[in-house]
Amino acid sequence: MSGGTSGRAAQREVFEYALLRVVPRIERGEVMNAGVVVYCRARSLVVARTHLDETRLRALDPRADLAGVRAALHAAEDVCHGGEAAGQAAAESPGSRFRWLVAPRSTVVQAGPVHTGLTCDPEAEAGRLLELLVR
C-alpha cells in the first residue's frame, strides 16, 4: 500500500460550457469573447468567469457602453451563484440557471453555442477556458 493515496484516479465528469460574447454593433457582425459559463450536472455547479478587454471593445466600437457591458457580465456571474442580481433565477436549479444564461437573446452580451467536455474539476475548467478563449 502506498501511504496516503487510495490509488483511485480522480473522477472525470461531463460538463457543458458556452462563451459569453460582446456584440457591440450587430450590423457589423463582430464579436468579442468576454467570459465563459460552465455547468456540471453531476456536481450541481454553474459558474461564470468574465474578463472585459475594454481597449479591444473600444477598438470595435468607440461608443460602446462599457458600464452596461460590465454590468451584464457581472449579472451573469451573479446568476450563477444565486446572488442578489439573479432575481427570480436565484431560486432555480443550477441547470435551469445555465440554460437561462445560454438562451439566445439579442442583447449586447450574448452566449455562443454550448460545447461539452470532460473534467475532474469543473470550477477550475472555467478558469482554464477563460485563459484559453477569452484572455
Residues 71-126: pLDDT tens digits? 999 999 998 887 676 677 777 889 999 999 999 887 899 999 999 999 999 999 99
Contact yes or no for 21/122 (Cβ under 8 A):
no
Helices (H), 4-114: 54-60, 66-80, 94-102
pLDDT at 110: 94
Asked whether residue 1 carries a pLDDT value surpassing 50, the answer given is no
Note whether residue 3 is domain-resident. Answer: no
Note whether residue 6 is domain-resident. Answer: no
Q: How many degrees, rounded to 5, is the angle at CA 114 between CA 107 and CA 14?
A: 145
pLDDT at 102: 94
Total number of domains in the chain: 1
pLDDT at 2: 44
Note whether residue 29 is domain-resident. Answer: yes
Torsion of CA 2, 124, 103, 69, to 10 degrees: 170
Note whether residue 66 is domain-resident. Answer: yes
Note whether residue 5 is domain-resident. Answer: no
Angle between helix axes 66-80 and 94-102 (nearest 10 degrees) is 150
Note whether residue 34 is domain-resident. Answer: yes
In sequence order, the β-bridge partners of residue 111 are 20
Question: Which range marks the domain in which residue 91 is found?
Answer: 13-133
Asked whether residue 8 carries a pLDDT value surpassing 80, the answer given is no
Note whether residue 59 is domain-resident. Answer: yes
Could you tell me which of 34, 20, 37, 43 has the C-alpha nearest to residue 93?
43
Note whether residue 1 is domain-resident. Answer: no
Asked whether residue 69 carries a pLDDT value surpassing 50, the answer given is yes
* pTM, to two decimals: 0.86
